[in-house]
Amino acid sequence: MSPLSPTNGALASRKLSVAPLPSLLDSGPLAILDLPLTSLDTAADSSLSEVCAGGKTTIIDFWTTKCTNCPAALDKLDSLQVSSSHQNVQIISICCDSCDGAREIIERGAEPRWANLRHYFTPLEWKEKAKAYFGFAQVPFYVVVNPDGATVHSKGNASKVDLAAVPGAVRPPALIEDPAADKENEVEVAPIVEKLAISEPEAPRAFIMDEDF
């Protein structure tokens, strides 16, 4: 049996109450759902409120081991965590279907995957409570918790969460300071773009969430 198995230690017997709060954030920030967690890195037991108590905004990525699109989401978040724009934001993942399966995926290969993120597991019975509380039925699913520990965003995957706009993130300076730039500058720039054959950037693709959750 893995030392991180949900049947090992105090996690299986922990009973935390769930306040009957609405699942959608239509009335302002909500108190965080205090999910019991086991660290996939250290095997230590904790809770979501403890993990989010570091004074930073927390981006939570819920995922499962059977989700075919979750690895791509984790790849993006892993890169985002070390970017200069998100130094004041912590990003964590919570697997909610298999503790041993999540460890196997993360530790597959010579180096651990998504090493810049902190990874946790929550028991299966708490997955259903999280789904009802945060209002989701598919993964990957993002929840944003502010530095005060209140849930401020619970609306879905990357197509619905502007990760550059979460509290604590730093947006890059605008490339054009004055939107009413003079015509002379526009004329000079246009031939350069044509000469270098710079194509329009492709629009970001939204993650397609798994249906069988």
pLDDT band for position 159 (cuts 50, 70, 90): low
Model pTM above 0.75? no
Residue 15 confidence (pLDDT) above 50: no
Q: Please indicate, yes or no, if residue 5 is contained in any of the structural domains.
A: no
CATH number, domain of 146, equals 3.40.30.10
As for how many domains the chain has, the answer is 1
Q: Please indicate, yes or no, if residue 25 is contained in any of the structural domains.
A: yes
pLDDT for residue 140: 93
Q: What would the pLDDT profile of 74-92 be if each residue is shown by its tens digit?
A: 999 999 999 999 999 999 9
Does residue 25 or residue 192 have the better pLDDT? 25
Average pLDDT over residues 188-208: 39
Contacts of 114 (CB under 8 A, 6+ apart): 74, 75, 77, 78, 93, 106
How many CB atoms neighbour CB 195 within 10 A? 8
Q: How many CA atoms lie within 13 A of 148 on its CB side?
A: 6
When the pLDDT of each residue in the chain is averaged and rounded to a whole number, the result is: 75
Q: Please indicate, yes or no, if residue 184 is contained in any of the structural domains.
A: no
Q: What would the pLDDT profile of 40-70 be if each residue is shown by its tens digit?
A: 999 999 999 999 998 999 999 999 999 999 9
pLDDT for residue 66: 95
Burial 13-24 (b: 16+ CB within 10 A, else e): eeeeeeeeeeee
Instruction: State which residues form the domain around 88.
Output: 11-165
